[in-house]
Structure 1
Amino acid sequence: MDSLIISKFKADNPGAVFLVAKEGKSIYRKAFGKANLEMNIDMQPEFVFEIGSMTKQFTAVAIALLEEQGKLNFQDEIVKFIPDYPTQGNKMTIHHLLTHTSGIKDFTKMKELRSISKKDLSPKELVDFFKNEPMDFNSGEQFKYNNSGYIVLGYIIEIVSGQSYEDFIQKNIFDKLEMKATYYANHRKIIKNRVSGYHNKEGYINNDYISFTLPYASGSIMSTVDDMLKWQNAMDTNKLVSSKTKQKILTNYKLNSGEEIHYGYGWHIKEINNSISIEHGGSIFGFKSMGIYLPKEKVYVIGLSNCDCNSPTQITKDIATLFVEN
């Protein structure tokens, strides 16, 4: 594992933290490279990273918690909660949003995004930004990874719970699991052990500023490898949701045509050497992340990096492969 990681994360460059757990217990936990280039601070295993789209796991489970409370159903149409949402003739459900099969335009692909990237928007203002865009396809007909769907899910969580998305996940997930180094990201707040993020454009530069109200429920969580292990263990032991609900979350869903999409609710459902792999990565200005769980082997591998130029994805997969019998 050391040799795999050292080949990509050099001592004087932005770095990464990797953790491997077997049967819920950490068996490998190491930091590489620098947490801050300007201050020449070495990376430490307990440091806090932006995890980008791994946030979608938390959003999906938050929706599942509301489903268990009887406040919504995965098959509910979104107009039940947002009556003026223009579904353009589609029967668009929460299930479609969770599985990236809604057909909604991904707002991160819109040219106008630059004009709002530094503004603090309410969830409603953000939904209004993209809701009138033409659909990419009819709901259920294709799988197309889509941040907009998870923005709408965050907004629905707020409407149904009467709490902000941040407060809901803090109270119902982070506090319950004692994830004390996990946060809804904030530029102004002092966050202990927060690492700096970098781009590489003919040399390293500090990451661009983006208002965290934009990634919102699709990508605004910060965490550590230790807290992410608590999260994975909670999912494995049904600490937050029932085994029946977890089965719905981790089902490999199908399109209207019957074709499998290799995605559940907030997780990709894939295989490594014919062994089931439940995984998701993340990318946000200055950061990349990847987490893989092998249910048969009971192995969890997570890598967090503080340069969006250096993804931990392949190394995380290579490490996971070491635990799968050929």
Structure 2
Amino acid sequence: MIKQCLTAAILAAALCACGANEKSATPPDVTAATTVISSATLADIDSYVQAQMNKQRIPGLTLLVASNGTPILQKGYGLANIELKQAAAPDTIYHIGSVTKQFAAAGIMLLVQDGKLSLDQHIAQLFPTAPASWKDITVRQLLQHTAGFPRDFQQQLAPLYDPQHHYTQDELISLMGTIPLDAPPGAVHSYSNMGYFMVGMVIEKVSGQPYFDFLQRRIFTPLGMNTAALVTAPSTPGTEASGYIWDNGWQPENALFPGDDDAAGGLRMSAPDLAKWDAALYGERILTRQSRDIMWAPAVLNGGSTAQYGMGWVPDAINGHPYVWHNGHVQGFHTQFERHYREGLTVIVFTNQGDALPERISAGIVARINPALAWQTVPDPQPQVGTLARSLVDDVINNTFHPERYTPAEAARLAGGAFDAYASMAASFGTLEQFGLVDSRSDNGVTTYRYLLKSHDDSALLLLQLDASGKVSAMYFN
């Protein structure tokens, strides 16, 4: 049984993606031509990574680039542990945060392949103590963040939770059932760690094994992913990075809470071991092609519109080139894992700084290796939105926050520290030389716009959403 302490919220990265026009993101089993990185490009990548580490105040970083599942670049930068002066190495172990979700999703797909579970099975059939409001929730909706669950749940249940009691699954579900749904099942896409907590419980219920034991037996051991472990498991000294946050200096941020080892974000591993998983995704050793096809397809909502999230993966596209990715953000760590499967190119960036933007670093590396995958701007069919977006960027550059331009919820998020973080990023970005629309996409009545920002030696993306009144309901930079 799972024993969970429901007294602290799990931290995870905000996900927002758009731009993939295909309903399926299945890679071909025949791989692309092998990527070769020239010595000049290697030197350029080195300089770029080190510059980004300085700008983003990242103490340690591990980079891995693979071509058709074979690593072609593995390198550590900086310090995995500042206090011990332990260098970050190619095989340093990091907490991977929400990259964990794709393994939970793969666990479900293995049970589907075994004929033991259906994606459209209602979870109330598995858990008899589930509340009536959950009766229409399916396993598929848990995986696609469309079940209607809130993002997190531990703090809400803290007053009801007895840390001395060993809770059964049914008892935990009875507690979780006291939290109202944010939306009817299947109505909207809303990122939910609570939903993936439930995914782990489904795996345990159907397999009859603890969640991690099932993944270890079916994925990690067959692939030789020997460093894959729960973040709460004992570790060998000198093998693992320590987490940090920047607050007028690097401050340790390694606190683990009971419950941090769940299916939403509770794994740690090395980049070479994650690359073994990447290699397996080019064939059918673990997952069938059909399973991959399902995992990398956008979710379909009740009204027939799509949401740009698959099952533990984000299907996306750069300049019409489809790829899949996911990031992971937990205390003191931020990671990025992206697979440009048509080009056979994978980039893994692990950092031990909780506020780092590894997505930005990986995008720069991908563009240097394959210029066709560098973000490009397109003519803007809605220049009035572009003008608004540029004015918001100017606000960030000038560090002038105007809360009236945002919805109350977004204004509160930005005022809580996000705007200051963006302004700090802008201060080291350099003079803005180019600004333009990359793409836009409407999902369930909400349009997401992406804009490219470029300086002399750096680039970033602005992700923007507006509500019906024209107020900004979401603004993210990466």
TM-score, length of structure 1 as denominator length: 0.92
Please tell me whether residue 151 in structure 1 is matched to residue 197 in structure 2: yes
Corresponding residue to 1:325 among 365, 368, 372: 372
* Contact kept in structure 1, 2:62 and 2:76, CA below 8 Å: yes
Quote the residue 2:108 is aligned against: 63
Secondary structure of residue in 2 paired with 1:308? coil
Correspondence 1:74-113 to 2 at 5 A: 74-88=119-133, 90-107=135-152, 110=155
Instruction: Give yes or no for contact 1:17–1:44 (8 Å, CA) kept in 2.
Output: yes
Instruction: Tell whether the 8 Å contact from 1:121 to 1:213 is kept in structure 2 after alignment.
Output: no
1:325 partner amino acid:
A
Q: For 1:232-283, what per-residue CA distance to the aligned partner results, in whole angstroms no more than 9, with x for missing partners? A: 1111212102111221111122211222212111100011121111000000
Query: Tell me, what secondary structure is at the counterpart of 1:214?
Result: coil
Cα distance in structure 1, aligned partners of 2:328 and 2:76: 19
Equivalent residue of 2:260, what SS?
coil
Instruction: Tell me the residue number matched to 1:43.
Output: 88
Residue 266 of structure 1 corresponds to: 312
User: Does the 8 Å contact 2:58/2:351 carry over to 1?
Assistant: no
Q: Deviations over 1:108-160 (max 9, x none)?
A: 584566998x9997573654553321111111111111101111010111111
Structure 2 partner of 1:15: 60
Is 1:199 the counterpart of 2:245? The answer is yes
1:134 to 1:115, Cα distance in 2 relative to 1, 3 A: closer
Structure 1 segments unaligned to the other structure (5+ residues): none
Is the contact between residue 107 and residue 130 of structure 1 (CA under 8 Å) also seen in structure 2? Answer: no
CA contact (8 A) 2:124 2:135 kept: no
Q: Structure 1 pair 274/120, CA: closer, same or farther in 2 (3 Å)?
A: farther
- Give the deviation of 1:19 after TM superposition: 0.8
Residue 384 (structure 2) aligns with: none
2:372 aligned partner, one-letter code: E
Report the AA paired with residue 341 of structure 2. P
Aligned equivalent of 2:327, options 271, 277, 281: 281
Q: Which residue of 2 aligns with 1:297?
A: 343
Q: Find 2:230's aligned residue among 184, 187, 194.
A: 184
Deviates more, 1:158-167 or 1:128-137: 128-137
Q: Is residue 50 of structure 2 the alignment partner of residue 3 of structure 1?
A: no
Residues 162-208 of structure 1: CA deviation (Å, up to 9, x unaligned): 11011111111100111011112225444661111112222211114
Could you tell me which amino acid in structure 2 is paired with residue 9 of structure 1?
Answer: M
Distance 1:324 1:169 in 2: 37
Which stretch shows the higher mean deviation, 84-93 or 162-171?
A: 84-93
1:268/1:280 contact within 8 Å kept: yes
Over aligned residues, Cα RMSD in angstroms?
2.5
Give distance in 1, aligned partners of 2:318 and 2:79: 31
Report the secondary structure of 2:300's partner residue. coil
Contact 1:19–1:28 under 8 Å retained in 2? yes
**Conserved in 2, the CA contact under 8 Å of 1:18 and 1:225?**
yes
Bigger relative contact order, structure 1 or 2, given CA contacts below 8 A and separation 6+? 1
Q: Secondary structure at the match of 1:88?
A: helix
Distance 1:20 1:279 in 2: 14
Distance in 2 (CA, whole Å) between partners of 1:70 and 1:46 is: 36
Specify the alignment match of 2:76 in structure 1: 31
Match of 1:236, SS state, is coil
Distance in 1, matches of 2:176 and 2:165, equals 16
Identity %: 28
Q: Is the 8 A contact 2:322 2:342 kept in 1?
A: yes
Judge conservation of contact 1:272–1:324 (CA < 8 Å) in 2.
Answer: no
In the aligned structure 1, how far is the partner of 2:346 from the partner of 2:164?
37
**Cα distance in 2, alignment partners of residues 113 and 201 from structure 1:** 28
SS in 2 for 1:140: coil
One-letter amino acid of the counterpart of residue 80, structure 1: Q
Read off the aligned partner of 1:100 and give its amino acid letter.
H
Whole-angstrom distance in 1 between the partners of 2:107 and 2:165: 23
Contact 1:17–1:29 (CA<8 Å) still a contact in 2? yes
Q: 2:356 aligns with which of 302, 307, 310?
A: 310
In structure 2, distance between residues paired with 1:189 and 1:30:
22
What's the counterpart of residue 300 of structure 2?
A: 254
Name structure 2 gaps, 5 residues minimum: 1-44, 374-478
Larger radius of gyration: 2
The letter of the residue matching 1:99 is Q
The 3 A distance-change label for structure 1 pair 288 and 127 is farther
Cα distance in structure 1, aligned partners of 2:80 and 2:107: 31
